[in-house]
Amino acid sequence: MSPSSENRSVPTAGALTAEETLRLIATLPAPEELENRVKAKLQSAPHRRNVIVWPFAAADSWMRAAAAAAIVVVIAGGGWGVYSHIQVAPVPSAVVEPQPLNGAGRFSTAGAMHVPQTVQGPVVATPVIEKEHATDQVPRMKEKAHKRGTPSSTERKRTK
Amino acid sequence: MSASQILVPGWMEIVESAVHDEARQHAEEAALAALVDQYASTLYRVAFSVLRNQQDAEDSVQEAFLRVLRHREALGEIRDHRVWLVRIVWNIVLDRKRRAKTRPETDDIADLARVLPANGLSAEQRAAALQHHARVLACVEKLPAREREVMMLSAFEELSSVEIAAVLEVTESSVRSRLFRARNLLAELLQHKRSTT
């Protein structure tokens, strides 16, 4: 059984005409010199292998080691050279801060002072307490109570 | 050990490896040229059946072989070169078709008129045949993508259903069922078109 007959299993009338069209297109000859044009295109295409080969490949491993060491020395030496040329400034013992201009850097008030106009509130006079007078009052009160005949708190306890 | 003693063996190795590389490159180029000679026309027909434009089809073939050139190291591992190449060009043309705008039916007729053989037909018969082909192709375009792809590939005498399955990366039974559906749908579409016109 050929591949084509294998594919064409029970086609309907409409499909048959459609497949004839497709088959007609599928059997159209390729244009002349197509192969040559494709080959020319392939030859003009850039090749991928553009890597430079290591010139002393596997000949002397010590040369590779020497080259690697030289690279390391050059890089390390360069780094050290840069480091040695940088002069680190001495750290001051006290940091002098610059005087801030107008406080936080704002415009100056030109000496003007803002005094809010407030309502004159009541003035509370602070009471003057005479200490001697206050201490003298306690025995006087006791005397008064004694005269009236009312027992003092200690006497009341005793009577109970 | 002098410098010349070091350099001379190294240089010899470079020359030997260069010669070896050159020989290998020549072998790869020869293999690629053989593939071009053998399959370029098949690939062109596959590309043309989808794109229906000579220049686009030729560009697709060239692009396919450029891809092969980029992966020429893998040529030895390929079991079936024909199916592999058809799959490459198939993917290229589908991608191109996806990016291109939808072609009007008149363009199809004009392109077909350029490429289809006259076969001893009169001018009127030829015009009628072209109209018919264009109508069929318009109906094919209306098929779902899966069915359309199988239908187009089945038109190639040299591709079996196993090979079509390999190109589309599906099973053979799937190819058969899709082809069956495609034929039925196409018959319906053509019937509908005939009844409306």
Measured in angstroms, the CA of A23 and the nearest CA of chain B are apart by 5
Measured in angstroms, the CA of A65 and the nearest CA of chain B are apart by 15
Show me where the domains of chain B are located: 1-100
Encode pLDDT of A135-144 as tens digits: 555 555 556 5
- For A55, the closest of B10, B139, B184 (CB atoms) is B10
Chain A CB within 8 Å of residue B154 CB = yes
The H-assigned helical ranges of chain B are 3-51, 54-70, 81-99, 105-115, 123-142, 145-154, 161-168, 172-196
The contacts of residue A38 (CB under 8 Å, 6+ apart) are: B36, B40, B61, B62, B65
Q: Do A56 and B186 touch (CB under 8 A)?
A: no
Residue B35 near residue B85 (C-beta atoms within 8 A):
yes
Task: Please tell me whether the interface predicted TM-score (ipTM) of this complex is above 0.85.
Answer: no
Q: Which of A6, A22, A39, A50 to mutate to test the interface with B (most CBs of B within 10 A)?
A: A22
- Cβ contacts of A57 on chain B, cutoff 8 Å: 10, 13-14, 17
Mean pLDDT of all residues in A17-34: 83
Chain A from 40 to 59: CB within 8 A of any B CB: 41-42, 45, 47-49, 53, 55-59
Looking at residue A68, its pLDDT comes to 93
The H-assigned helical ranges of B52-80 are 54-70
Fold of B1-100: Rna Polymerase Sigma Factor; Chain: A (1.10.1740)
- Cβ contacts of A34 on chain B, cutoff 8 Å: 40-41, 44, 58, 61
In angstroms, the CA B30 to CA B120 distance is 42
The contacts of residue B69 (CB under 8 Å, 6+ apart) are: A42, A45, B32
Chain B from 93 to 152: CB within 8 A of any A CB: 112, 115-116, 132-133, 136-137, 139-140, 151-152
Encode pLDDT of B84-137 as tens digits: 999 999 999 999 888 876 666 566 666 766 667 666 677 788 788 888 888 888
Encode pLDDT of B166-191 as tens digits: 999 999 999 999 999 998 998 888 88
The H-assigned helical ranges of chain A are 3-7, 13-26, 34-44, 61-85, 102-105, 131-148, 153-159
The contacts of residue B17 (CB under 8 Å, 6+ apart) are: A53, A57
In angstroms, the CA B77 to CA B163 distance is 18
Chain B CB within 8 Å of residue A4 CB = yes
| Residue B60 pLDDT level (bands cut at 50, 70, 90) | very high
Chain A CB within 8 Å of residue B56 CB = no
Residue B134 near residue B188 (C-beta atoms within 8 A):
no
Encode pLDDT of B137-152 as tens digits: 888 888 898 999 998 8
In angstroms, the CA A16 to CA B191 distance is 13
Q: Which two tokens stand for residue A70?
A: 């030289």
CA closest to A27 among chain B residues: B45
Chain B CB within 8 Å of residue A1 CB = no
In angstroms, the CA B21 to CA B12 distance is 14
